[in-house]
Structure 1
Amino acid sequence: MVGRRRSHSKVTDQAPSHPELLPLVAVAARVADHGALRPWRLIELRGDARRGLGKAMVEAAGVTGADADRLAAKPLRAELLIAVVASRRDSDTVAVWEQDAVAAGVAHMLSLLLAAQGWGVMWRSGPLVRTQPVHDAHGLAVSEELLGWLYVGGVPTDAKPGVRQAIDPADFLTAL
């Protein structure tokens, strides 16, 4: 299953419910987490919350007219967006980058779990992720950084298999 994982840039308007997400989040929380700090959190955006994000993106980009309309519509590409937040903790032993890696690990694990359940998922980010209006739209604390969103929905019946060029694993796994 993992070897066939692909991103789905287009999804249908079906999405897992909050109760369906809870056990997946519980499993995703099993990623390696030095110090067991749990330096992450996830935020569900559905319905009008997605429109609010679109408005914040428009404000952050400073665009108007048709450009603003296109940008405001981006969060509407999926019925469910899951914001991935690095929620950094004070620690003398666990560096900030390591805490961010845990948050990214949770997001990736969750995307694999959602795909295994038959959902289409795509992790999206971009230049507006770390802007103040987008930060504020998510109600993030000063110690938190948005890493992006998992766009989640049904897999379209006409979805084509993902194509990813195979790698030679020996090029990426070396010995010291």
Structure 2
Amino acid sequence: MAGHETHYTLPRPEFDKPVKLLIVVAPYYKDIADNLVAGAQAEIEAAGGTCEMIEVPGALEVPTAIAIADRSSNFDGYVALGCVIRGETTHYDTVCNDSSRAIQLMGLQGLCIGNGILTVENRKQAEVRADVNDQNKGGGAAAAALHLIALTRKWGAQSKGVGFKAPSEAIKLADSDNGPTTA
């Protein structure tokens, strides 16, 4: 059983300037969502960051809320939280696959998102995964977002000189590469 295995956890990233994250949670199963949020908030605070939280009706709305926030605000990253428990219909598969796919696509476009939407077979599995003293998947999702923010900050300012450069920028780059010029 996965709950008894030990897994390697990356060291918490450190930041020169504080990070600000948005936690987007679908509180359909309120007690589970509250535990996920508590774990995420603790991880963000431990990294010296701050966070805001919004609630949406369900897991399918989480990616949409993140997209809206990304267009309208200044968050460094996002934590997606919620829980989907298998029921009697195929709606479970749709919600799990579509919310995960949307979050992944936004991540591939450059957003720093930790996905902590639990997809489980039963309530007991959700409780164990959400518990901050057990699997703490909310904290893990926040940690994932923080690591992605750290990578973005590390590589975000670097340029390899590929692609279109405005004429004034190209001249500055050429001058800096060739040293002083003489007339």
Whether the TM-score (by the shorter chain) exceeds 0.5 is no
Q: Return the index of the structure with the highest Cα Rg.
A: 2
Structure with the larger helix share: 2
TM-score between both structures, scaled by the size of structure 2: 0.29
Higher normalized contact order (CA 8 Å, seq sep 6+, divided by chain length)? 1
Q: Under a length normalisation based on structure 1, what TM-score does the superposition of the two structures give?
A: 0.30
